[in-house]
Structure 1
Amino acid sequence: MNTLVNKWNNISLVKRIIIGLTVGIILALTIPDVVSPIALLGSLFVGALKAVAPILVFFLVMSAICQHKEGQKTNMKSIIMLYLLGTLIAGIVAVVGSFLFPIKLTLVAGAEGVTPPGGVGEVLKTLLMNVVDNPVNALSSANYIGILTWALILGMALKNASDTTKQVIVNISDAVSQVVRWIINLAPFGIMGLVFDTIATAGIESLFSYGKLIVLLVGCMAFVALVVNPIITFIAIRKNPYPLVFRCLRESGLTAFFTRSSAANIPVNMGLCKDLGLNKDTYSVSIPLGATINMGGAAITISVLALAAAHTLGVKVDIGTAIILSVLSAVSACGASGVAGGSLLLVPLACSLFGIPNDIAMQVVGVGFIVGVIQDSCETALNSSTDVLYTAVAEFGKRRKEEVKKIAS
């Protein structure tokens, strides 16, 4: 038995995930009635990731800040600029795509009982209130803005603490990281349960019900992932960007596709950043922050669905309004929660730009839930893999500039 387990563990995680994915599809197509036991594996995996991620972020950030010495440089300013730039460009790509390939929707019900924010001011207010959230509540509710804030504050307060105190925090951080590694090793079984549950309950045909809308959404996301991000990466590191882009998509995007939660994928991204040799002081802050504000996929979803609603109702959208929509979707996306389906509730906010009534906008949200099986998975894969990509791009770009300076001097 031990030999079998060792052989399994020696297979790369990506290959094990592909095996789990394949087995999940086969089981869903052959024994779809046995939903609960197999689907439970997926629920347990995502639940475990969501449970450990807030604690991991809290102690990692606090540990990094309290140990930070004067003179150590991080790339947070560059990373935040990349996050915001990437989200804005994603919104522009979605607007252009929607103009080139206008989509009309068959509006349905299905979004009852959910309340969207009333405006950008409400989104920003929510973000600010999350900053001053009770630290215990922030941890229990996975409020990453609040967690980051308290971790930063406590980390700075502990800078002058004794080395023994700092070491305790480091030891707890290492222990939580080890728990995360154990959970990540169970990813193949979790993903098997997730894909089984999706296909067994919704059916493969449900993935193709709204073909044109899905193609437009996924096409815009693919364009950002395979064209925009490589261009940004090349400008920074001045060499072939695709090995880094594909590695981020493969090792981060794949798990994010199935967990459908940027927050749940934080531990995966932390591990990938470590494997890439990035600065822990930087990625321990940038990755959880990216799960909150780096929302290019969400900006695409908001823009595409809002313009689809406008096209359906015959609302003419001029260039000026389209530009405003790009900015609005980017700002709104930064306020989208890092959980499955977070961006859909911000669609009515964008629809209000065209004077579309809330009841119609909520029907568009209903359409979003229908296509969410694919849309939300692709959106999260783009968002989460880009968290790692931009963190790596900022650091590799900085290293390149330092090497150029050395050569020049």
Structure 2
Amino acid sequence: MKRLISDWNRTSLLKRIAIGVVLGVILGVVLPEITVIGLLGELFVGGLKAIAPLLVFALVANALSQTREGQKSNMTTVISLYIFGTFAAALTAVLSHYIFPIKLTLSEAAKTAVTSASQSPKGVGEVFNSLLLKMVDNPIHALGEANYIGILVWAVVFGFAMRTASQHTKDLLNTMAETTSQIVRWIINLAPLGILGLVFTAISENGVGVLSKYGLLLLVLVGTMAFVALVVNPLIALVMMKRNPYPLVFRCIRESGVTAFFTRSSAANIPVNLKLCEDLGLNPDTYSISIPLGSTINMAGAAVTINVLTLAAVTTLNIQVDFATALILSVVAAVSACGASGVAGGSLLLIPVACSLFGIDNDTAMQVVGAGFIVGVVQDSCETALNSSTDVLFTAVAEFSAWGKKKATAK
């Protein structure tokens, strides 16, 4: 038994996760009634969500407390990439609409949408208002509710305030950050068991029959996200780094996207992304801030979902849309996506904001949201995988491009 455990621990995490996926599929098909297996997935995601807020606060506060006047970071570049990448994804969704126009059967989606109507924001102004209020949330409440905007703001405040503290106090904060990171490593090592449980739940509870009628919608959603991940993002990385981006792209998808696909939560994937950034040798002063920030504002997958479903509603209602209007929609979708919560289905509730541009009433818009929930089992997993893996990709691209500039200057 000891030898078996030792061999298991020496196996790469990705291989162990692959084994977990296979076992989850087999158990989901053969023993769907043993629901306790799914508890492994709930415990894994719950552990990640529980430690992530404290990890973000500790890492950001510690990183800023250790900084000195004039110390440079790549945050401006990272944020610019986040914003441009989200807009590019939204624009890609518009182009996919012109190539593959979709019509929905809205009446069947109405029942699913009813419970979501009260939670949906009524406009872009409400999205901004919500973001601003989250920034000044009580820090204890922000930690308890996993409000990452509030956590980041207070971590920055505490970090800058701690710059004038004694070295002993700074060492204590650094120890707290390292201890929290160690706990995260322990949880991540349980990923194979957690993903086994998540796959089991997905297989045992969700048949493919419900997706058959919405197959084209799902195909366009997933296909557009795949195009963004494999074509649009690599092009952005190529322009920035001036070298082949695909090794980095594939590593981000493999080590970040895979876990995000199964957890379906950008927030829960923050610890995974921080570990990947560490493995890539990136600057912790940058990634300790950019990764939690990316889980909130870098929402390429959400922008794709908002635009594809909104334009599907427009096609269904025979509303004519010129490219200029679609371009404005891309801006609104990119801005709205920044307000999408980092939980499963968060982007769907922002569809009514985009639909309002075309005069579509809220009741109809919520039927579109319902259609999104019907395909949400696959759509939301792909969306989260794109969002989360892109957080690491753009953080790395910003730093690698900076390294390239330094080398060019040295020559």
1:213 aligns with 2:212: no
1:234 aligns with 2:218: no
* Higher alpha-carbon deviation: 100-109 or 384-393: 100-109
Counterpart of 2:80 in structure 1: which amino acid? M
- The C-alpha deviation readout for 1:255-282, integer Å capped at 9, x for no partner, is 0000000000000000000000000000
Displacement of 1:113 in angstroms is 2.3
CA distance in 2, matches of 1:39, 1:126: 34
Aligned to 1:87: 86
Gaps in structure 2 of 5+ consecutive residues: none
8 Å Cα contact 1:283/1:391 also seen in 2: yes
Counterpart of 1:269 in structure 2: which amino acid? N
Aligned to 1:404: 408
8 Å Cα contact 1:207/1:373 also seen in 2: no
- The C-alpha deviation readout for 1:240-299, integer Å capped at 9, x for no partner, is 110000000000000000000000000000000000000000000000000000000000
SS at match of 1:309: helix
Aligned to 1:4: 4
Q: TM-score, normalised by structure 2?
A: 0.98
1:378-389 to structure 2, matched below 5 A, reads 378-389=382-393
The number of residue pairs the alignment matches comes to: 406
Displacement of 1:206 in angstroms is 3.6
Counterpart of 2:263 in structure 1: which amino acid? T
1:149 aligns with 2:153: yes
Q: TM-score, normalised by structure 1?
A: 0.98
Aligned to 2:346: 342
1:353 aligns with 2:352: no
Counterpart of 1:248 in structure 2: which amino acid? C
Aligned to 1:28: 28
CA distance in 2, matches of 1:60, 1:209: 46
**275, 288, 293: which one pairs with 2:292?**
288
Aligned to 2:60: 61
Aligned to 2:177: 173
Counterpart of 1:102 in structure 2: which amino acid? P
Displacement of 1:364 in angstroms is 0.6
CA distance in 2, matches of 1:214, 1:306: 14
CA distance in 2, matches of 1:71, 1:3: 52
Counterpart of 1:112 in structure 2: which amino acid? V
* Higher alpha-carbon deviation: 104-113 or 336-345: 104-113
1:111 aligns with 2:118: no
**102, 121, 125: which one pairs with 1:121?**
125
Displacement of 1:204 in angstroms is 3.5
- The C-alpha deviation readout for 1:358-405, integer Å capped at 9, x for no partner, is 111101101100100111000000000000000000000000000001
* Higher alpha-carbon deviation: 197-206 or 394-403: 197-206
Displacement of 1:235 in angstroms is 1.1
1:319 aligns with 2:323: yes
* Divergent runs of 4+, >6 A: none
SS at match of 2:169: helix
CA distance in 1, matches of 2:206, 2:82: 34
Displacement of 1:86 in angstroms is 0.1
**187, 190, 194: which one pairs with 1:190?**
194
Aligned to 1:136: 140
Displacement of 1:209 in angstroms is 4.1
Displacement of 1:205 in angstroms is 3.5
* Higher alpha-carbon deviation: 91-100 or 202-211: 202-211
Aligned to 1:251: 255
Percent identity, aligned pairs only? 62
CA distance in 2, matches of 1:310, 1:181: 46
Displacement of 1:100 in angstroms is 1.2
* Higher alpha-carbon deviation: 314-323 or 258-267: 314-323
SS at match of 1:386: helix
8 Å Cα contact 1:290/1:387 also seen in 2: yes
SS at match of 2:85: helix
- The C-alpha deviation readout for 1:112-137, integer Å capped at 9, x for no partner, is 22221011000000000000000000
* Higher alpha-carbon deviation: 37-46 or 65-74: 65-74
The root-mean-square deviation of aligned C-alpha atoms, in Å, is: 0.8
Displacement of 1:208 in angstroms is 4.0
- The C-alpha deviation readout for 1:13-57, integer Å capped at 9, x for no partner, is 11111100000001111111112x111011111111000000000
Counterpart of 1:222 in structure 2: which amino acid? A
Given the superposition, is the C-alpha separation of residues 207 and 25 from structure 1 closer, same or farther in structure 2, using an over 3 Å criterion? farther
CA distance in 2, matches of 1:284, 1:182: 19
CA distance in 2, matches of 1:306, 1:194: 30
